[in-house]
Amino acid sequence: MLETQNLSLRYGRHLALNGINISIAEGETVVILGANGAGKSSLLKAIAGLQKPEPGSVLTLDGTTILGTKPHLIPEAGIALVPEGRGVFGDLTVEENLLLGANPRRARTSEAERHGLIYDLFPRLAERRSQLVRTMSGGEQQMVAIGRALMSNPRFLMLDEPSLGLAPIVVTELFGALKRVKQTGVGLLLVEQNVSISLSISDRGYLMEAGRITGENSAEALKTDPAVQQAFLGGAAA
Ligand code: ATP
């Protein structure tokens, strides 16, 4: 179980996260829905150790605190982030990008096995393992980014707007792959503008507004929640 309690984050005077309490169980898929600027990316970055939360914030993995540990220990603990914009290395091949993700100690013992698993999840990457990533389509690059994060053998994988800028057919393919990742037992924490497709693979979701969690429910209930419908599914703010 990955859990935050009273997690707050400040950029100068701006309180971007204000007392966030969320949890993700082993193997669960959870989506965070919120308008631009609600703080969704900041939340993922704080959990990944890329931003330093305010004193009093708590982040635990199976009840053990992991906040304040060195950032490189977060992947070692089994938490991986696919950042917005992917962060892949364009001048390296698919294979080389994947190898970079195999750095945490927890990944090394099973490197060959991980490669096999990732190429099973993303057959397209197997076909193109020697291709330079910058010559690939946006959807393929997103798959490389997810594959690289999976090389660290994470227990929890966080994804920041994986569908951003992708054509609808590619988004469908990508979420098909994420469904297969989910079936491997990895917990997924997802931030997505594409509310409809993200709810379709999620077990649960949180609503976020101006740095606070304002709602929480099962994905099924959120799909028909009038507030979600109005804000995200055909409403003006989508
Ligand atoms: P989006 O969907 O637009 O990325 P978001 O919900 O992910 O939005 P964040 O990117 O977390 O929101 O931003 C939350 C707030 O914090 C915004 O007001 C943003 O301008 C501010 N912010 C984010 N990163 C920084 C930073 N590095 N320095 C200062 N302010 C920041």
Residue among 114, 87, 11, 13 nearest 53 (CA) = 11
Task: Please give the number of the atom of ligand 1 that sits closest to the Cα of 191.
Answer: 7
* Residue 169, token pair as written in the block: 């057919």
Residues touching ligand 1 (Cβ under 6 Å) are 11, 14, 16, 34, 36-42
In a domain? residue 238: no
DSSP 8-state secondary structure symbol assigned to residue 203: S
Residue range of the domain that includes 218: 2-232
The phi and psi torsions of 150 (rounded to 5 degrees) equal -70, -20
Question: Is the pTM value of this prediction over 0.85?
Answer: yes
Rounded mean pLDDT, 21-34: 96
Element at 4 (helix H, strand E): strand 2-11
Name the burial class of residue 145, with classes exposed (0-12), middle (13-18) and buried (19+) by CB atoms within 10 angstroms of its CB. Answer: buried
Question: Do 97 and 132 meet the contact criterion of CB atoms below 8 Å apart?
Answer: no
In-domain check, residue 237: no
Centroid of ligand 1 to alpha carbon of 37 (angstroms): 5
Measured in angstroms, how far is the CA atom of residue 70 from the centroid of ligand 1?
23
Q: Which amino acid is at 219?
A: A
Q: How far is the CA of 214 from the centre of ligand 1 (A)?
A: 18
Domain count across the chain: 1
**3-state SS assignment for residue 238:** coil
Supply the CATH number for residue 186's domain: 3.40.50.300
Interval 78-110: pLDDT, tens: 999 998 887 899 999 999 999 888 766 666 556
Please list the alpha-helical segments (H only) found in the chain: 40-47, 73-77, 94-100, 105-108, 111-121, 123-127, 138-150, 168-183, 195-201, 219-224, 226-232
Mean of all residue pLDDT scores within the chain: 89
Give the residue-averaged pLDDT of 27-53. Answer: 94
- Which amino acid is located at 186 in the chain? V
Residue 184 lies in a domain: yes
Mean pLDDT of the region 42-65: 93
Q: Is residue 14 assigned to a domain? A: yes
pLDDT on residue 237: 41
